[in-house]
Amino acid sequence: MNRYKFSRANIEAARQFLKNKKKTGPTWAQRFRDDLSVSGKKISYKGMQIVAGEDVSDVLRGEIFKKNADVPPSRDAAFHLLKKRFVGISKRAVNAFLQAQRPLGE
């Protein structure tokens, strides 16, 4: 699943496909149909939420900066925890997000 790129439109098409409203869907949805589940507007792959590329920074902001967050603000440690919860967030996206933030000591 990590080799696929996800977008909002792609996820919506997969949701329609999984609810049997469309006969075809994205290739990743057809290939992993048995491992995908739909809950509301979200799609999960083996219990991990699929995140669209447009929403990665919002998810990272919520996970790293929320109160009582368990995700540290370092690239490798954050990626290690996030890859167990989400699909579609790359180490490069985590690094770009963290570099765009101001240092905590400032």
pLDDT digits (tens, 9 = 90+) for 30-55: 999 999 999 999 999 999 999 999 99
Task: Say if residue 103's pLDDT is above 80.
Answer: no
Predicted pLDDT of residue 104 = 64
Average pLDDT over residues 77-105: 91
**Which residues lie across from 42 on neighbouring strands?**
39
- Prediction pTM value: 0.87
Residue ranges of E strands in the chain: 36-39, 42-45, 48-50, 86-87
At 102, is the pLDDT very low, low, confident or very high (cuts 50, 70, 90)? confident
Q: Which two tokens stand for residue 51?
A: 């995140």
pLDDT higher than threshold 70 for residue 26: yes
Residue 39 has phi, psi (to 5 degrees) of: -135, 105
